[in-house]
Structure 1
């Protein structure tokens, strides 16, 4: 078995506990390996879970076109995941470069894609739960009162994996940029901070024009 990259499944396990060493081996061998698939699988699985949950809630009124809707939703989710990867990769390449990062866009995309492994696991757990008959609760007061108790376990697992995935992502980004995890965390905050400033400025301009 290869040692962390190549055609081996090893990085799918080591990325959980050794993100820096794993992503370093990946970018030094083939930084494009599985990147597109990793970006697509999570959103596609999430879309499938949502569609199946709707079917559980409204099985009597399913359209004959429902299978096509499911396929379209999964395909759209996959494409959205890939587009988001490229956009995020460009942004975090730029923000990391502002504070001394040296990664290329290919390396940043590899880091972001491999950091999706915990999120993919979370989506697979959710899809498995939905396929077993546990519906996803809708964000309404009435629905929240009727949540299947089994869904709480799924929710806890999703939350833990989301936190773990975020930590893995920071360490992977730090490694490809060749700086500390704290600096990588700051690199993720820079775009959000700029977006908030721009949004605040737009709101201020609109408010000023409306009250002129």
Structure 2
């Protein structure tokens, strides 16, 4: 396993159970390996699942241009996933450095991208379920009695994969920054807290200014 990161598929398996060791091998050998592809595929597979869900729910009204529309939507979300990766790496490098982290943006991108493997697996599970005919509620407020029981099982699987993916992301970020997963959690919370403070400040300032008119 010394060159586990260099193998064709080894990191896709070891990232589930050995996230710290796996991401360390990756950043020490080739920190750019599969990073763009993982970021693009992670967002793209979710968009594809959503489009297929809508198609099955409304297949009588599909346009002949529907395949082209799906391709455009998936490409857009894939590009957005890559853009989010680059923006997120800048933010998490900065917030991690506040807590003593030492990772570069390239290393943070590797940690972010490879920790998406469980999310990609969740997207594939959902897509397969949709293609097998499991009805997916497209509206937010749907009575529980109208939701197919099979969909609940899919949601349980999605929830488990999502939770484990979050744990993996903290461990990967902690490893590249060379601190604990708990400190990685703090690093991910700092940007959001700062954003909330700034929003609160602007809302308060706007309210005060409006009150003078």
Shared fold, TM over 0.5:
yes
Question: How far apart are 1:2 and its partner, in Å?
Answer: 6.9
> Structure 2 matches for 1:37-76, cutoff 5 A?
37-76=37-76
Q: CA RMSD in A?
A: 1.4
**Count of aligned residue pairs for this structure pair:** 212
Residues 1:142 and 1:175: Cα distance change in structure 2 (over 3 Å): closer
> Structure 2 matches for 1:1-212, cutoff 5 A?
3-142=3-142, 144-212=144-212
Q: Distance in 2 between matches of 1:142 and 1:96?
A: 41
Q: TM-score, normalised by structure 1?
A: 0.96
Q: Distance in 2 between matches of 1:136 and 1:209?
A: 47
**Cα deviation code 1:142-176 (max 9, x no counterpart):** 46542121110110011111110000000000000
Alignment gaps of 5+ in structure 2: none
Question: How far apart are 1:72 and its partner, in Å?
Answer: 0.6
Question: How far apart are 1:92 and its partner, in Å?
Answer: 0.2
Q: Distance in 2 between matches of 1:139 and 1:73?
A: 20
Q: Distance in 2 between matches of 1:193 and 1:160?
A: 26
8 Å Cα contact 1:39-1:85 kept in structure 2: yes
Deviates more, 1:4-13 or 1:184-193: 4-13
Q: TM-score, normalised by structure 2?
A: 0.95
Q: Distance in 1 between matches of 2:144 and 2:88?
A: 33
Alignment gaps of 5+ in structure 1: none
8 Å Cα contact 2:47-2:73 kept in structure 1: yes
Question: How far apart are 1:203 and its partner, in Å?
Answer: 1.4
8 Å Cα contact 2:54-2:138 kept in structure 1: no
Q: Distance in 2 between matches of 1:155 and 1:190?
A: 29
